Structure 1
């Protein structure tokens, strides 16, 4: 009931709430508390890596909301060797057997531009499953240039970004520029803003930037700790901030 309610109002007011899940219990709590979408990762302390296959299978099988799965073999950089690529492509092949909402991935060159050669290989491996380009984007040398490169690839539906800063709250002007660059919904990759948002700051952030999708990790967890369980009260506070019309 809660999930259906949140989904209805999420569509009505065109705001999307994505929540990181680390475990099946996380995924259940996120959905029950009103998330519109799950990003499934492991090792959140390193920014998120490819999750265990068994978790992905269980969560995608039972989740009532879309599950986006991280494809990231290590946290050393967003430049990947051929061995790294084989790991990523192999993970994607295994995960395609499940009911995925999207893959979450990103690749950069040594010059900090989008590595289109490797990206195309990953998009081919996605085999029609939509893709979110993750916060590798924030390490690009020029965010507008990177966004325009990604917009050339129709399978990339979302760009997750903190505006090039550790906290998205320090990049509100940059996020607003990217939102304007994205245009109307559906015309280019959606800007998904995350990192540093809290229940107390999200409403003003949305108002200032015009963003239509937000991403939460530690901001909806107990005591704001990255690996702590999801806190239903903090989730409720985020939903109230995003949808003040709903009483």
Structure 2
């Protein structure tokens, strides 16, 4: 079971690694769903931990629909992130009609050669997620989808997530479940959905607040419970 934890600073990164995280999602602006962190933070995080660092590529929080200037910004960020030695990027884009924007993927993925690519929770704004998954399956560089199975928290979308896991079975694409998971209920959630990767943010922080530091006791207990599956 792969445990991904959100990090917003070096202290988060070190605490996460020391207490059982298998991978980091490095972001800034956690209260806005995550934006691209500064390249200095990316470089320092990569140097500071041994686990993979996946970096958010999201230029603003207005929407997941991007124009030419946004695309140029994202391309430059991906090049800098790759140069910093990160293991992957976290990216997503939609058309004005609410479908996956393949033109954006076609433009950005060549910049991400050698990196793992997670399509982020823009996926949860799709009307037909199974259709969206089939679109992403045409892009072998996209290695996982971060999703809660729709607009609701993941624990309220267990059947939808199970269908996505089944649809991706046999491919190189993994379903990374996140949003609303708790350490207390995650084992049951995994058993019901069949996911092999889970994503935690505020639920492993002091007071379960996104703006608080990671709680090492809470994270270690979560990690230990996942190891026991």
Q: TM-score range by the shorter chain?
A: over 0.9
How far 1:159 sits from its partner (Å)? 0.4
Structure 1 unaligned segments of length 5 or more: list them.
1-14
SS at match of 2:74: helix
Structure 2 unaligned segments of length 5 or more: list them.
none
SS at match of 1:96: helix
Q: Is 1:114 the counterpart of 2:118 in the alignment?
A: no
CA separation in 2, counterparts of 1:145 and 1:237? 37
Q: Is 1:243 the counterpart of 2:188 in the alignment?
A: no
User: 1:40, 1:68 within 8 Å by CA — same for their partners in 2?
Assistant: yes
Which residue, 173, 181, 194 being the options, matches 1:210? 194
Aligned length: 229
Q: Is 1:137 the counterpart of 2:115 in the alignment?
A: no
Query: Match of 2:155?
Result: 169
The answer to which structure, 1 or 2, has the higher relative contact order (CA under 8 A, 6+ apart) is 2
Q: Is 1:180 the counterpart of 2:166 in the alignment?
A: yes
User: 1:61, 1:98 within 8 Å by CA — same for their partners in 2?
Assistant: no
Tell me the TM-score normalised to structure 2 length: 0.97
How far 1:61 sits from its partner (Å)? 1.6
Which residue, 183, 188, 191 being the options, matches 1:199? 183
Q: Is 1:93 the counterpart of 2:79 in the alignment?
A: yes
User: 2:125, 2:151 within 8 Å by CA — same for their partners in 1?
Assistant: no
- Correspondences of 1:45-64 after superposition (within 5 Å): 45-64=31-50
Query: Match of 1:7?
Result: none
- CA-based RMSD: 1.0
CA separation in 1, counterparts of 2:152 and 2:214? 22
User: 1:71, 1:104 within 8 Å by CA — same for their partners in 2?
Assistant: yes
CA separation in 2, counterparts of 1:127 and 1:241? 35
Runs of 4+, deviation exceeding 3 Å: none
SS at match of 2:100: coil
Q: Is 1:103 the counterpart of 2:89 in the alignment?
A: yes
